Amino acid sequence: MISYWADFPGMTEAIEKVSGIIRDASASNNLVISERISGLLDGNGKMLRPGFLLIAAGFGKTGDKHYQLAAALEMLHMATLVHDDVIDDSPLRRGLPTLHTLFGRREAVLIGDFLLSRCFLLAADYTSPRNALNLARIIATICTMEIEQNRDRFRSNISLRGYLRKITGKSALLFSLACFVGAYEANAPKVVCEKLRRAGYNVGIAFQIIDDILDYSGDEGLVRKPLGRDIAAGLVTLPLICALPLDTSGSLQKIFSQNTFSPDDSEEITALVRKSGGIEAAGKFAALYTNRALREIGLLPPGKQRDMLEALVRRLLIREG
């Protein structure tokens, strides 16, 4: 969704440049690959991670390599989406049929691997060895957290701390890296890089919490994916964690008395989470992390970049009012 960036001076062109690099990096003799990845790019992704990286780069001296690194991060993100969809057997993503629905699981796994390898290729080529290492570490962490999340399916004894740990690994580290790497590779002052790293971390946490809230409360047309999928897949997210102590009827506790639950309970759980105020409570956490992000951003050197970053965070995280 390139139009997402229309209000941000220069960003539409920058994001288009990143798309072009991804298309080039996936152009090979193999038409299947280029077509599939082109299809993913046309699928209206907001290109948030490249956007954060490029805005952060503006705190130093932006160069060609930033576009390459932005492309690497987006390819990593695309790889995780493709594999997630295979794993979850999701029919839709951003309102469009998922890759494995169209072309089979087999091809989707391989396209994901291809994207991962291209991500590393760009990172190895354009980043400092230190940041290539950081990236490899983060990918390993993303996988670890996904594996943990998978292991914990249908277990109800998920703590707030466990949840935060998982979404840090799944989402926040990548936003954090995007902001840090953008500034670091642009030779921005160290203190600016560190502030951006923290801002990115808080943005990532808030972003994931909001995503998890929308799975309970969203408008299917707006979210562009089916609702209630998390709980049906056995994932315990923040609205439910918040709802447990709030549900005075005791019905939630009863469902979870065995520390496990079944997919058949999904509808009842969803209704109880909404009724007990779990969504509003989770919203307060999202606001907390959003405010932390905005505070870090407020400490950055004033100017166009800071304004743009603030505007982006507001649009992204305060979208639901």
DSSP string, 238-306: HHHHHHHHH-TTSHHHHHTTTSB--GGGHHHHHHHHHHHTHHHHHHHHHHHHHHHHHHHHHTSPPSHHH
- In the list 140, 160, 299, 311, the residue contacting a copy of itself (rule: CB under 8 A) is 140
Number of amino acids touching a copy of itself (CB under 8 A): 41
- Does residue 229 belong to the site contacting a copy of itself (CB under 8 A)? no
- Does residue 216 belong to the site contacting a copy of itself (CB under 8 A)? no
- Among residues 146 and 211, whose Cβ is nearest to a copy of itself? 146
Burial class (CB in 10 A: 0-12, 13-18, 19+), 255: middle
- In the list 2, 121, 223, 246, the residue contacting a copy of itself (rule: CB under 8 A) is 121
- In the list 18, 54, 55, 111, the residue contacting a copy of itself (rule: CB under 8 A) is 111
- Does residue 117 belong to the site contacting a copy of itself (CB under 8 A)? yes
- Does residue 239 belong to the site contacting a copy of itself (CB under 8 A)? no
- Does residue 146 belong to the site contacting a copy of itself (CB under 8 A)? yes
Question: Of the ranges 30-38, 256-264, 268-276, 312-320, which one interacts with a copy of itself (CB under 8 A)?
Answer: 30-38
As a whole number of angstroms, the distance between CA 235 and CA 211 comes to: 13
Q: How far is the CB of 200 from a copy of itself (least distance, A)?
A: 20
Q: How far is the CB of 161 from a copy of itself (least distance, A)?
A: 13
As a whole number of angstroms, the distance between CA 320 and CA 3 comes to: 19
State the DSSP code for 265: G
Task: Map tokens 């509003």 to a residue.
Answer: 280
Is the distance from CB of 219 to CB of 229 less than 8 angstroms? no
As a whole number of angstroms, the distance between CA 58 and CA 61 comes to: 6
CA angle 160–162–165, rounded 5-degree value = 110
- Does residue 33 belong to the site contacting a copy of itself (CB under 8 A)? yes
Residue type, 93: R
- In the list 9, 20, 61, 137, the residue contacting a copy of itself (rule: CB under 8 A) is 137
Interface ranges with a copy of itself (CB under 8 A): 28-30, 32-33, 79, 83, 86-88, 105-107, 109-114, 116-118, 120-121, 124-125, 129, 132-133, 136-137, 139-140, 142-144, 146-148, 150-151
